[in-house]
Amino acid sequence: MLLHILFLIGIAVEAMSAALVAGRRQMDWLGVCVIAVVTALGGGTLRDVLLGRHPLSWIEHPSYLVIVLVSALVTILVAPMMKRLRTSFLVLDGLGLVVFTVVGCDIAKGLHLHWLIILVSGMITGTFGGVLRDVLCTQVPLLFRKELYASVSLLAGAIYMTAPHVGIDHDVGLVAAMATGFTVRMLAIRYHWEMPKFVYKDDWD
């Protein structure tokens, strides 16, 4: 129940973040809506397509689409005020990341998949909406280049998955996974923590 509410907040926040990216590309309103839908629901959609789960959540619950579209349109209207909201925005975005991750892990776990696949499912759900957004806006996915993001997703997934094996209650593990992931994400933004980069300059082609 709590997870579901957090999920709804998550798709709304992802839609708002996507609308701003689309606005920087000067897309028209409909383009903004498409980018918002792809960003907010794309990760979960890709996960379900890969797992062969049908119907997709937003096809079964079109209200998810409505939430995303309303969030995107509201963002267009309030964009001039967004800079002031930036901090709270990053907070909500970090929340979306960990919530999506836990949802994705939970679904793969319910299908009794291998732990590696559970981690991947969480990471796809948490981060690939943003990857699809970046591909549609033709920029190299930020995921691969910015402060800890995908790694936060892996961390949250790992905690969520490990918890039951060390005797921790499912709900406690869920909250612990989200709290830890969220905290690390906030610290990563604050202190610009980054993964080591692989810089390869050899002339290959």
CB of 199 to its own copies, least distance (A): 5
* Among the listed residues 87, 114, 166, 191, the single contact to its own copies using CB under 8 A: 114
**147: DSSP letter:** S
Closer Cβ to its own copies, 8 or 20, answer by number: 20
Is residue 88 at the binding interface for its own copies, with CB under 8 A as the rule? no
Residues with Cβ within 8 Å of 47's Cβ and at least 6 positions away in sequence, in order, are 53, 104, 107, 108, 121, 124, 125, 128
CB of 193 to its own copies, least distance (A): 11
Is residue 144 at the binding interface for its own copies, with CB under 8 A as the rule? yes
Six-digit token string for 107:
């679904």
Is residue 76 at the binding interface for its own copies, with CB under 8 A as the rule? yes
Six-digit token string for 97:
């990341």
Secondary structure in 3-state letters for 122-141: HHHHHHHHHHHHHHHCCCCC
Is residue 54 at the binding interface for its own copies, with CB under 8 A as the rule? yes
Is residue 55 at the binding interface for its own copies, with CB under 8 A as the rule? yes
Angle between helix axes 86-110 and 115-136 (nearest 10 degrees) is 140
Q: Which residue has the tokens 């794309």?
A: 42
Is residue 151 at the binding interface for its own copies, with CB under 8 A as the rule? yes
Q: Tell me the residue type at 157.
A: G
Footprint on this chain of its own copies (rule: CB under 8 A):
19-32, 34-35, 45, 49-52, 54-56, 59, 62, 65-66, 76, 79, 82-83, 86, 113-114, 116-117, 120, 131, 135-141, 143-145, 150-151, 154, 194-202, 204
